[in-house]
Amino acid sequence: MADLRVNFAGIKAPNPFWLASAPPTNSGYQVQRAFEAGWGGAVWKTLGEPILNVSSRFAGTHFNGQRVVGFNNIELITDRPLEVNLQEIYETKKKFPNHAVIASLMVEPKQEKWHEIVKKVQDVGVDGFELNFGCPHGMAERGMGSASGQVPELVEKQTYWAKEAAKVPVIVKLTPNITDITATAYAAVQGGADAVSMINTINSLAGVDIDTWKTIPNVAGKGAHGGYCGPAVKPIALNMVAECARNPEINVPISGMGGVSTWKDAVEFMLMGAGSIQVCTAAMHHGFSIVEDMVDGLNNYLDDKGIESVAGLIGQSVEKYSDWGHLDLNYKVVARINNDVCINCNKCHIACEDTSHQCIDMLTSENGNAYLEVREEDCVGCNLCSIVCPVDGAISMVEIPNGEPMTWNQRQEAIKLPICNS
């Protein structure tokens, strides 16, 4: 059994799986049930001045029979008084002293507001804070959430103000609704953040009902943009975690989230630098018990790899993530079709012929059987055929030896004038 315990920026938890600040962490009842189910930590639904919510708040994006590939919400932060939340946080922490309870906070960008809420909340014994600079809807219209989180100066200042009053670690949660998340991550570090977390939800409109012409969801016929999350956003989140992890100026731990649904997703985030994992949509879709598979899966994976603890996994793939200019232009893979497995659906041929490099031929053998063959010399190794192929093992991408590596950056340096004549 591997050691799944984590010490994330000084916040200790029995495992790296934490519920993200969201509807699943709205109350003590829910968080305590989550801990009983096996979650290692929870980021309490954002505390701030109690808000008013609308009815009809969520929408799922379904694709090709797969439910909830994406999830959209227009629910705001907690609508309960601070004292009620604090009482429940106190009780939860008392019952589960070894689990991580982190309070998500959001107030106006004023020093006294941050001091007030930080002091009040830390008195009940939270293990850390997460500053919500990411919520994209509702609160942003009031100058909070992602409205602050998109301005590096405000991120830095507010982090600094929270740190002035905080005696426990401060995590800054970042919005993905920005061109370069490393800019705001760096601002958080400059403000004294002990860690950053990402990603919050992405601005979204889940859909439009083509019969009623109303938005999905709609509130009395009207809609407003919400925050998008769930499996569909995982690649976006993973890139943002990786970009921060490989930036030497962002030298604080990263809590990764955005579409994590399985232990495999979690491993990917950890390999790319996440020291803890936050989950929301998968828990909303399947319930708290999904954490059992996550814990078991991670445990077995670490055992199989001979890794003693979660720490041995964190950041192991970061050095493999770089800029395009450092990629080897001479590296070559080509597609190969295994005709023993191929069902001749021709999807690869169509995809290649219509939208890629026209290198898969439809041929007929001497005995009259149709088959597909890749002209390897014309194949650029784009992977499209293997992506659209419905049969596992029918198309392999095979590495072809192709000389010494040469990156774009090396090439550009080499062809600069003048080139010496031997």
Partner 1 sequence: MSSYAEFLEEKKKIDELYEKGYTITAVREDLSGAYLTFERSKLDLNDIEEKIELHILTADTRKYFSNLIIAQQKELI
Min. distance of Cβ 378 from partner 1 in angstroms? 5
H or E element, residue 256: strand 254-257
Residue whose structure tokens are 């609508």: 79
SS3 for 70?
Answer: strand
Are 225 and 204 in contact, with CB atoms under 8 Å apart?
A: yes
Q: What does the DSSP 8-state code read for residue 246?
A: T
Residues 6+ apart with CB under 8 A from 274: 241, 245, 254, 255, 256, 314
Which residue's CB is nearer to partner 1, number 218 or number 410? 410
313-319 LR contacts (CB < 8 Å, sep 24+): 313/267, 313/270, 313/271, 314/270, 314/271, 314/273, 314/274, 314/275, 315/245, 315/270, 315/271, 315/272, 315/273, 316/271, 317/242, 317/271, 317/272, 318/242, 318/245, 318/246, 318/271, 318/272, 318/273, 319/246
Cα Rg of the chain, angstroms? 25
What's the gap between Cα 221 and its chain centre? 32
Here the tokens at position 11 are 């916040």
| CA-wise closest residue to 249 among 167, 171, 193 | 193
The C-alpha atoms of residue 223 and residue 388 are separated, in whole angstroms, by: 36
- For the chain, count helices (H), then strands (E): 13, 20
Give me the residues that bind partner 1 (CB under 8 A), please. 329-330, 357, 359, 375, 377-378, 403-404, 406, 410-411, 414-415, 417-422
Least distance from partner 1 to the Cβ atom of residue 339, Å: 22
Which one, 386 or 407, has the nearer CB to partner 1?
407
Q: Tell how far CA 4 is from the center of its chain.
A: 20
Closest to partner 1 by CB, 116 or 353: 353
Dist CA 116 CA 266 (whole Å): 35
Q: How far is the CB of 380 from partner 1 (least distance, A)?
A: 8
C-beta separation of 202 from 233 below 8 A: yes
How many angstroms separate the CA atoms of 252 and 187, rounded? 12
Pick the catalytic residue from 135, 229, 359, 379.
Answer: 135
CB nearer partner 1, residue 365 or residue 422 = 422
**CB-CB neighbours of 143 under 10 Å:** 12
**CB-based contacts of 406, cutoff 8 Å, min separation 6:** 328, 329, 330
**Nearest CB to partner 1, comparing residues 111 and 410:** 410
- The nearest distance, CB 377 to partner 1, in angstroms, is 4
CB of 311 to partner 1, least distance (A): 41
- Of 7 and 356, the one with the shorter C-beta distance to partner 1 is 356
The token duo for 231 is 């499996």
420: annotated active-site residue: no
Annotated catalytic residues are 135
